[in-house]
Structure 1
């Protein structure tokens, strides 16, 4: 048993969280670059918390420039055990309306301009992403949302696009009708992949801001409508986060789904062939399995 330290990665519209005791913004150095921002740490109802605004306060990072590896590494260095991603998303489903939340359980990754792994030449590692989110954390997010009076949908496939432009009508129809995706966003990949490599439980809460351009009654995505909905969704997200400590508790058992041992058999490079510089950079992410 370990202590829970819950990491919240806030998306568009969510740049802080309320009610933290002993709250302070901490700069965390990472060998993978500079994180999006300092990390807000504190205690909420007896549970250690760490909040990272994905785009930085003031929204300075585009989806393509978010330093995903540095962000996940920094959270791991702070002792985070569980990560909940909160992000603005478009909907491909009539029943998933603006203002609703979706507990994502699958992804289709269409991003192409981002570093997607901590591993590479000199230390090769492969983790399973068949089930890229943690059902235990998903359960907690669903319960917290329902207790907060939020309309929430359990399960959905998130199409991760590169951005920063929104979809064409043809793309939107393809993602919805042929690929069967439920929501669309720009930031959950490679974040979910990196969290798995870092042996962190990861859950994704998609906050719907709009119907994507497929919807015949809504036309093209209107950024002014999205911004208006973002404000309400951010308040709902804070309400959801406030309920998580009671559901997760301060004492943490090993993950029943194995998220926290994802690297157990993942490293293929022989010890004497590993790049020492890369191994040194992996000290927080993979030190458990790479330590002599």
Structure 2
């Protein structure tokens, strides 16, 4: 079974557009979960359908806690997205993952506490697996695109997602690095990755290192001016990377070999006669395939 590819890019700090998009148009998408972060930029690149959503909104108006994660994922699903790439800034816990480098994340530790983390709940309970929260097929494409763009890329890494908006204390930074074995830290990939899995969307995380967080003996406290300087260079490389994704993924795709697009197959636990019709109506886009 094949379907048309639609690549969705969720751009974080510094990534607010896709260069070279043909027939580009900003469209509004209504969702049962409220408005997404902004309108979504749609178009084609190398003949492949594309969608771009600025995670923080144009002008960076949403804090990490206030990003409407459920509405964002629902909106992309409604538009027909099949493959989602998250591009975001991060701090590094590893000397070898230096500012300016890219990390293709494959694991997360979720330390957020003030965000809605699921589409499901009372009236329709579901449990999806996030043992492997990113799609290896998309991560392969992201790694290859980074190499073609000429950036230093590290394949694999654990992303600590903190609530924010403040940066870590030195004690927290050392704990995440030394005791927990994390590689990078950011504020936005959770619950985004979990929601993408619930929506049966393939998801990959491209983390752009801006700083060494506060653990580094020669780095000290995170300085936003230093971050912004690195972010500028990362943004140019990030847009170059994104431009290369359509050629790598192609105009059509088969079923995901890792089952990302079938994550809900056996996940819904609530008996059909006990399901809340109001909640089912809200789940029409993300779970319509299994709820009928």
Q: Which TM-score tier does this pair reach, normalised by the shorter chain?
A: over 0.9
- What does residue 194 of structure 1 align with? 195
- What does residue 163 of structure 1 align with? 164
- What does residue 93 of structure 1 align with? 94
Find the aligned partners of 1:118 and 1:143 in 2 and give their Cα distance: 32
TM-score (normalizing by structure 1): 0.99
Find the aligned partners of 1:74 and 1:258 in 2 and give their Cα distance: 21
CA-CA distance at 1:30 after TM superposition: 0.4
SS of the residue 2:131 aligns to: coil
- What does residue 11 of structure 2 align with? 10
TM-score (normalizing by structure 2): 0.99
Find the aligned partners of 2:36 and 2:234 in 1 and give their Cα distance: 24
- Aligned-residue Cα RMSD (Å) equals 0.3
- What does residue 287 of structure 1 align with? 288
Trace 1:144-163 onto structure 2 (pairs within 5 A).
Answer: 144-163=145-164
Could you tell me which runs of 5 or more consecutive residues in structure 2 were left unpaired when the two chains were aligned.
none
- What does residue 277 of structure 2 align with? 276
CA-CA distance at 1:171 after TM superposition: 0.2
CA-CA distance at 1:17 after TM superposition: 1.0
CA-CA distance at 1:54 after TM superposition: 0.1
**Aligned residue pairs, count:** 291
Trace 1:35-54 onto structure 2 (pairs within 5 A).
Answer: 35-54=36-55
Trace 1:20-169 onto structure 2 (pairs within 5 A).
Answer: 20-169=21-170
SS of the residue 1:188 aligns to: coil
CA-CA distance at 1:45 after TM superposition: 0.2
| 4+ residue segments displaced more than 6 Å | none
- What does residue 225 of structure 2 align with? 224
Find the aligned partners of 1:99 and 1:17 in 2 and give their Cα distance: 20
SS of the residue 1:126 aligns to: coil
CA-CA distance at 1:10 after TM superposition: 0.1
Find the aligned partners of 1:213 and 1:230 in 2 and give their Cα distance: 17
Find the aligned partners of 2:7 and 2:47 in 1 and give their Cα distance: 11
